[in-house]
Amino acid sequence: MERPASFNVTPKLVLGVLVLALGVIFTLDNLGLVDGGDILFYWPLGLVALGVAKVLQPHGRGFGVVLVVVGCWLLLERLELVPWSLWDLWPLILVAIGASLIWRTVVPRVRRAAASTSADLNVAAVLGGAEPRITATDFRGGDALAVMGGCKIDLREAKIAPEGATIDVFAFWGGIEILVPQDWSVEIRGTPILGGFEDKTRGGSPDGSQRLAITGMAIMGGVEVKN
């Protein structure tokens, strides 16, 4: 007997439920049946739900935790349970950027170069650029983040692990470019929001062994895969 497919809570599913709920709320508000403002007061719970869905995925857990923390903070702020606004903490972005620059300067080049053979990808570009080159023979995927910056990921010398690879992307006012070999088969599963995903690859894996899936979101940004 064939086993039923397992139910998987994905960020795309949660986003769809949230959009559907907004449509229902606005409709009922227009009909005078509910007060949409009272319900939308708790909109940060949507960020929490998206974050939890990301945490449940194999990749993107770090970004999921950020969404949960931001959503909880905004909700507590609206309930007047915290003395500071989230926007009061924006200088921490400068702290993070400074710490990243210091880390890239202090860590020896040999150590950073060795990371290019890792089977897992973890790259972030915030207000800047990143151009990692991966040469792993058992590449499994990972995370790529671009916020008002750009990532150019070179996988042309890599080989995918037998179970396949998945790259979870998040592009916000930024772009992510992924270069892959011509014998890779690419599947786009990402969600564009005022942005776009584009597959410009040619050919594909004849035996289906080199399979790369692209998941995640592009919000006012773009993700491009090409040879």
Confidence of residue 27 (pLDDT cuts 50, 70, 90): very high
Q: What is the pLDDT of residue 50?
A: 84
> Which whole number is the average pLDDT over 118-135?
82
Closest to 14 in 3D by CA, of 39, 41, 49 = 49
Average predicted confidence (pLDDT) for the chain: 81
Angle, in degrees to the nearest 10, between helices 44-55 and 61-78: 160
- Is-contact 216 192, C-beta < 8 A? no
Q: Which two tokens stand for residue 64?
A: 């999921």
Q: What are the boundaries of each domain within the chain? A: 11-89, 114-226
Distance CA 13, CA 81 (A): 31
pTM of the model as a whole = 0.57
Closest to 190 in 3D by CA, of 154, 214, 159 = 214
Distance CA 152, CA 129 (A): 8
Burial class (CB in 10 A: 0-12, 13-18, 19+), 6: exposed
- Residue 104 predicted with pLDDT over 70: no
The pLDDT tens digits of the residues spanning 185-223 come to 899 988 888 888 998 888 776 666 788 999 888 888 899
> Which whole number is the average pLDDT over 145-169?
88
Q: What is the pLDDT of residue 223?
A: 93
Share of the chain above pLDDT 70, in %: 82
Output the CA–CA distances (angstroms, integers) from residue 204 to 49, 185, 186, 210, in the order listed.
36, 4, 8, 8
- Is-contact 9 215, C-beta < 8 A? no
Total H helices, total E strands in the chain: 6, 11
Q: What is the pLDDT of residue 100?
A: 61
Q: What 3-state DSSP class applies to 24?
A: helix
Closest to 119 in 3D by CA, of 168, 161, 167 = 161
Distance CA 145, CA 127 (A): 11
Distance CA 143, CA 62 (A): 9
- Is-contact 40 25, C-beta < 8 A? yes
Distance CA 187, CA 214 (A): 6
Distance CA 181, CA 96 (A): 34
